[in-house]
Chains A and B, each alone.
Chain A
Amino acid sequence: MIRWAKVRAVARFEFLNVARRWSYVLVTFGLPIFFSALSGGLLALQGAFLSSRIERAAIYGLVDHDGVLSDRAIWFPFAELDPEAQEAVVSVGLDPDGRDFLYISPVLFARFDHNDAALEQLGWGRLAAVYVVEDDYMESGDVHVFESPTGPVISVRGATVEPVLERLLRDRLLRGRIDDARLVRVLEPLKLRRTVATERGLVPSEDRAAEIVVRAGIPFLLGVLLLTALLSSSGYLVQTVALDKESKVVEVLLSSADPDELLTGKLLGLGAAGLLQFLVWAAMVVGGGLAFATLVASMDIPIPWEALLASPLFFVLGYLFIGSLMLATGSLGSSVPESQKLTLGWALLAVLPLMTMIVLLEEPHGWLGQLLTWIPFSAPLTVIVRMSIAPDGIALWEVAGALAVLLASTWLSIRLGARLFRVGLLLSGTRPGWRELIAQARLLD
C-alpha cells in the first residue's frame, strides 16, 4: 500500500529541487522569449525581404522575334508609365530613352529588339531576367529565359512573372479571333466554389478550412505539448535518479520509503515541474496569439470539446506510463549521460505517434488509427487526434478500452518500474545485462 504522505514529501522535494534551479527558471521564462524574439526577428526579416521583392516592380527584358507581342497598343513609352514603374526603371539605372515598356503590376517588361542589347543590360544587373519569344514560337511555343548567374537560386519569378507572361501571350493569340466573353473565360476558365455537405448542412469550404485547421491543429498542438512536457520532465527524471546514485543517498531513501513511493513521488514532482514549465510556455503562446483566438471564436467553429476534456486524463496517464519506464531504466545508469542513453528508446517510442500524424489526419479511423489506439505508447495522442478530427468515428467503447489498457499498462509499468528501480538504485559499478537484471529483480522479493 502506497503511503501518500511519503509520496507527497518526495514529490515536493523533487519539484522544489528542480524549480529552484536557475537553469530551470531561465529555460522556463527565458527560452520562449528568446525563441520568440529569434523566430519573430527572422520571420520579420524574411517577410520584409520577400515583400520588398514582390512589391518592387522588377524589370524583365522581353525580346519578341515572333511578333506575337508586337501590337503597339500594349507598349508604352517611359513618360506614360505609372510613377512606381518609372521609379523602378530609374532605380536600376536602365536608360529609358526610346524604349517601350509593358507594365502589369508588379511586373514590368522592357522591350528590346535584339538579344544582345537585352543580355548586356542583364549582365549589368539592370534586368531581373530576359524572356526571348523565339521566331518559331507559333510552331514550338519556345520562350527562352536568360538569367543572371548572380540571381537568386529560389526565385518568385515562376509564381509572378511567368503566369503574367503566359496570360499575356494567350490574350495576344486569341484577341480578335474569338468574342470577348469567350476570351475572358479562356483566360480564366476555372473559378472554383467549394461547398461541403456536413451533418449540420452545407458549409462553404472557406469556413470548413478554418474548422479543419482548428480540428487538426488542436491534436497537433496537444501532441507537441505532450511530448514537450514528457521529454522535458523525463529529462529531469533521468537526472534526478542518476543524481540520487551519484550523491549516494539511495540507501537512506530506500530505508525510508518504498521504491513505489519514491518512483511515484518523483514522477509526480517532476511531472509537476514539467507541467508548470509547459503552462508558462502555453500562457505565453496564448497571450501572444490572443488576437488569433478572438478570430477563431468569431468564426463559430465547433471546438472539439470531447477531445479537449479527455486530453488531460490521457496525457497524465501517458506521462505516468512512459515516465515510470524512463525512471526505471534511467536508474540502471551510473551517471546522467548513461541514464539518458538508456532512456532514449522510450523517448523515441513516445514520439512515434507524431510521426504517423499525417496518416492519422488523413484517415483518423483507419486501421492504423485503430491499431495505435490500443498501444499504450501511442494511445493518448491517437485517441485525442481521432476525437478531434471526427468525434463520431471513434466509439465510446474504444475510448474506454484505450483508457483501460493505458491504466493497466501504467499500473504495470509503475510496478515493474519500481522493481527495476530498486535493483537499479542498488547497483553500482558495471551495469549487468538484462538477464541478470531480471534475475536480480526476482531475487529481491
Chain B
Amino acid sequence: MTSNGTEPVLAFEGVRKSFGETAALRSVDLDVYAGEVFGLLGPNGAGKTTLIRIGLDILRPDEGEVRLFGERLRRETLDRVSYLPEERGLYKKTKVLDALTYFGRLKGLSRRRARDAAKHWLDQVGLLHVARRNTDTLSKGMSQKVQIAGALLTEPDLCVLDEPFSGLDPINVDLVKRLIRERRSAGKATILSTHMMNQVEELCDRVALIHAGRRVLYGPLDEVRRQHSHPMVRVRVEGQLPELPMVTAVVHEDGWVQLRLRDGADSGEVLRALVTAGVHVTHFEEVLATMEEIFLSRVRESSP
C-alpha cells in the first residue's frame, strides 16, 4: 500500500531472476501507482529491461511475485498495459494505419475501434496525414511518434515507455511530455525508463534506481533528491551576511551566495535567522542535488 492508501497498479515483490550464472535481479520490490509517472532508472545492464519484461510476462521470475491491478499477473490483464520498448520499430512495407490497427487488435480492441483509435492517436501526434503511407517511408522522428501513438492507442491504465524521447526534436519532446502529463491527469500510470535525468526531474513523481540487479534508490522524487543532497541554500541578499551558527561554509558565486548547512539544519531556520538579522533577502532557494548527481553517486557507491 502506498502512503495515500491505494492499491498499486503494478507491484514487484521480492523478484529475482538469473540467466545461468548471471543474476539479473536480486530481490526487487517496487510499486507503481495510478496517476503517477514513475521513473525507472539505472545504468545499462542494471536489470531494468528484465524487470520490465517480467512485469509484462515476457519473462517469468525465478522467485517473487508480480501483481498487476491488484491481482497475480495474468495475460488477460496485460491488455490494460502497453509497452514502448527501447529496441523498437515498425513492420516494414506495411501501412501505418494497418500496423497500428494490428497492435490495437492484439490488445483486444475490435477492428473498428482499433482503427478509430489509431486515427485518433495519429492525429494526437500530428501524423494523421501519413496513415496510408508505408512505414518504411517515414523519417526516424515520424516513426518514433507513430510508435508512441501505438503505445497510447488503447489508452492503457499502465504504459511502460522505455526511452520515449530518443530521436525526437525539442518540439516533439515537448509533445510527448504533454501526452505523459495528460495521462497523469487522467489518473493513469506511466513507467518512464530513461537516461535523460532532466526529463526525470521534470516529469516523474517517484523514482527507483536499479543497479546490478538491486534497487538502490526508491521513493518520491523530491524526497529522494532531498535525502541525497547536502543541506544547502542559495541566496541573493542586499548587505552583509551575518554569522549564522547553522552554516558551515559560505561560497560567493556570480552574485549568489551558497550556504552549506550543518547536518540536521533546516533551510527555514536559515531564512528566519537572515530576516531576524535584518538582511534584505531578494532570492532564497533550497539547493537539491540533481538526479544526475544522485544517479552517478549512487551507482558509484553501490558498484561492486
Contacts and interface: CB of A to CB of B under 8 A. Distances in A.
Contact of A255 (B19, B83, B102): B83
Contact of B59 (A243, A428, A436, A444): A444
A248 B89 contact: yes
Contact of A13 (B20, B93, B102, B107): B102
Nearest to B18: A443
Interface string A4-17: 01100110110011
Interface in A257-298: 257-258
Given A6-B106, A9-B106, A10-B106, A255 B60 contact: no
Contacts of A177: none
A424 to B, nearest CB: 13
B56 A444 contact: no
Nearest to B109: A9
B58 A9 contact: no
A198 interface: no
B78 A255 contact: yes
Interface in B254-298: none
A252 interface: yes
B125 interface: no
A9 B58 CA distance: 19
A254 B83 CA distance: 10
Contact size class for B? 35 or more
B75 A258 contact: yes
Contacts of B78: 255-256
Contacts of A17: 91, 94
B164 to A, nearest CB: 14
A426 interface: yes
Interface string A426-437: 101000000010
A373 B209 CA distance: 59
A212 B301 CA distance: 83
A255 B90 contact: no
Contacts of A443: 18-20, 62
Given A13-B102, A249-B89, A249-B91, A444 B60 contact: yes
Contacts of A428: 87
Given A6-B106, A251-B58, A252-B150, A439 B20 contact: yes
Given A13-B102, A252-B150, A426-B58, A243 B20 contact: no
Interface string B83-109: 111011111111000100011011110
B85 A252 contact: yes
Contact of B88 (A10, A21, A251, A426): A251
B81 interface: yes
A91 interface: no
Of A249, A436, A439, A445, the most chain B CB neighbours within 10 A belong to: A249
B85 A251 contact: yes
Contact of A3 (B20, B53, B75): B75
A138 interface: no
A248 B88 contact: yes
A253 interface: yes
A155 interface: no
A247 interface: yes
A264 to B, nearest CB: 13
A243 B75 contact: no
A86 interface: no
Contacts of B57: 255
Nearest to B57: A255
A247 B89 contact: yes
Contact of B83 (A9, A246, A252, A444): A252
Nearest to A428: B87
A440 interface: yes
A21 B102 CA distance: 17
B91 A243 contact: yes
Interface in A216-267: 243, 246-249, 251-258
Contacts of B62: 443
Interface of B: 18-20, 53, 56-60, 62, 75-76, 78-79, 81-85, 87-94, 98, 102-103, 105-108, 150
Given A249-B88, A443-B62, 16 more contacts: A6-B105, A13-B98, A21-B93, A247-B91, A248-B88, A251-B53, A251-B58, A251-B85, A255-B78, A255-B82, A255-B85, A256-B78, A422-B58, A439-B20, A443-B18, A444-B60
10 contacts: A3-B75, A13-B105, A17-B91, A243-B92, A246-B92, A247-B91, A252-B88, A252-B150, A256-B103, A444-B59
